[in-house]
Amino acid sequence: MIQFLTAATEIDAWDDFVENHPQGSHLIYSDWLQSYHAYGFRTEIAVSKADDVIQGGFGAVIATVLGFRFYIIPYGPIGTSPDVLRECLHAAEARATAVGACMIQFTIPMGDPRCRPMFPLQDQLIPNDFRSGNAFKYVYSSPGFNWIDLAQHQTIESLIESFPSASFRRDVRSGMRKNEQFSFAVTPEEVAVAYALCQENADENGYQIRSWDAIGTVLLSLIRKDRLKLITTSSAGQLKGAGLFLKAGGYYTFVMGGTKKEKPTRHTGHFLQIKALEMAFHQGMDGYNISLGGSEGVRAFKGSFGTVAYPFERGTYHKVLRPVQFKIFRFADVRMKPYKSSIAKVLKWFRGRK
């Protein structure tokens, strides 16, 4: 039976399920979903229970853009059996119709079973009237994993020795020597300063991350719950690097980072990733998701850790519920592409005026 959650204790139970379920993801923690509230979007969580025990569920963002409503499940549903997933998808479509959405979209993590957090590919799970493709990109949907397998290594040194490039291994060890002053940001002041460095790097390299106003309280909440680690490294009292690593599904995911560019280089980015891998080792995890995406240079850097990319096979699926509305949205959206970077700011401004 599907139940939409309202009580804080029920939502806490969902978050615990996401943290410990093999296919869990930080994208469907209640805190992470709530970060969309800053843009005027609504969110909700639904679970399937048996004998009052959660068997699966989904987190959804009800997004309104250009006057049109969308029902987006950024990751999942997740669950203990195919029947639970089908039940969740049926409930999600009914709910999307009830709230007046013109389209529903979901992303089930299916693909190569060699990547442990993946569901094996099961085409029969996908309803026949859903089409493959990401038709709504104002809510991030995961494309897959960039996985570092830790199960075959007993120590961090063994892992470093497995990196395919000798020069990269030297850079990693150099970073470990030069960035000995590391810590975890936990106070609001520490977290804000560390996030500012991530924002600085985003601005310098021409990509966008959420503003501190939109995400700050979410990060602090996740840190208090020990689901987010914000690793920092400093020298002579000056912050040199920061990385955000979120735990769910029995693995850490690299979310974002920032480093000070210096000559000679401190190899700070190498150091931050090694500290995350050490955390995963110490907690007995079988893998680490350094995440897909980034510039060509960033992708090459990630690949130097011996990663294997596991994209979700056929990835995201959607169904148009109100064809006329959706066609109007697509027509307007194409013409709004040059202004997409401003849409979130506009949404946030309207939210603040209410």
DSSP string covering 246-265, please? Answer: EEETTEEEEEEEEE---SS-
Alpha-carbon dihedral of residues 291, 297, 300, 301, nearest 10 degrees? -70
Identify the bridge partners of residue 106 per DSSP, sorted by sequence position: 73, 317
Residue 80's nearest CA partner among 163, 166, 5, 22 is: 22
| pLDDT confidence of residue 107 | 95
CB of 19 closer than 8 Å to CB of 226? no
pLDDT in tens, 15-68: 999 999 999 999 999 999 999 998 899 999 999 999 999 999 999 999 998 889
CATH topology of domain 2-143+312-353: Aminopeptidase (3.40.630)
CB of 86 closer than 8 Å to CB of 119? no
| pLDDT confidence of residue 353 | 42
Q: CA-CA distance, 168 to 150, in Å (whole number)?
A: 18
Task: Categorize the per-residue pLDDT at 93 as very low, low, confident or very high, splitting at 50, 70 and 90.
Answer: very high
Q: Is pLDDT at 188 greater than 60 in this prediction?
A: yes
Residue 107 DSSP SS3: strand
Q: CA-CA distance, 307 to 287, in Å (whole number)?
A: 10
Task: Categorize the per-residue pLDDT at 339 as very low, low, confident or very high, splitting at 50, 70 and 90.
Answer: low
Ranges 43-52, 251-260, 328-337: which has the least confidence = 328-337
| pLDDT confidence of residue 264 | 87
pLDDT in tens, 210-221: 889 889 999 999
Question: What are the CA-CA distances from residue 190 to residues 35, 109, 186, 196, 212 (Å)?
Answer: 20, 34, 6, 10, 13
Look at strands 251-259 and 287-289 and give their pairing. parallel
* Dihedral class, residue 256 (left if φ above 0, else alpha if ψ from -120 to 50, else beta): beta
Average pLDDT over residues 348-352: 48
CB of 340 closer than 8 Å to CB of 346? no
* Whether the domain at 2-143+312-353 and the domain at 152-285 fall into the same CATH topology: yes
Count CB-CB contacts under 10 A for residue 253: 22
Average pLDDT over residues 181-208: 93
Q: Which two tokens stand for residue 153?
A: 């290594």
Task: Categorize the per-residue pLDDT at 351 as very low, low, confident or very high, splitting at 50, 70 and 90.
Answer: very low
Residues in the chain: 354
Q: Residue ranges per domain, the chain? A: 2-143+312-353, 152-285
pTM of the model: 0.90
pLDDT in tens, 200-244: 999 988 888 888 988 999 999 999 999 999 999 998 889 999 999
pLDDT in tens, 132-161: 999 998 999 999 999 999 998 988 999 999
Residue 144's nearest CA partner among 329, 344, 309, 337 is: 309
Using H for helix, E for strand and C for coil, what is the string for 162-193?
Answer: HCCCHHHHHHHHHHHHHCCCEEECCCHHHHHH
Q: CA-CA distance, 231 to 18, in Å (whole number)?
A: 23
CB neighbour class for 69 (10 Å; exposed up to 12, middle 13-18, buried from 19): buried
Q: Is pLDDT at 88 greater than 90 in this prediction?
A: yes
Q: CA-CA distance, 74 to 76, in Å (whole number)?
A: 7
pLDDT in tens, 262-317: 888 889 999 999 999 999 999 999 999 999 988 899 999 999 999 999 999 878 99
* Phi and psi angles of residue 144, each rounded to the nearest 5 degrees, phi first: 145, -160
| pLDDT confidence of residue 354 | 40
Name residues whose C-beta falls within 8 Å of residue 77's C-beta, 6 or more positions apart in sequence: 56, 57, 58, 84, 85, 88, 89, 92, 106, 108
CATH topology of domain 152-285: Aminopeptidase (3.40.630)
Identify the bridge partners of residue 3 per DSSP, sorted by sequence position: 47
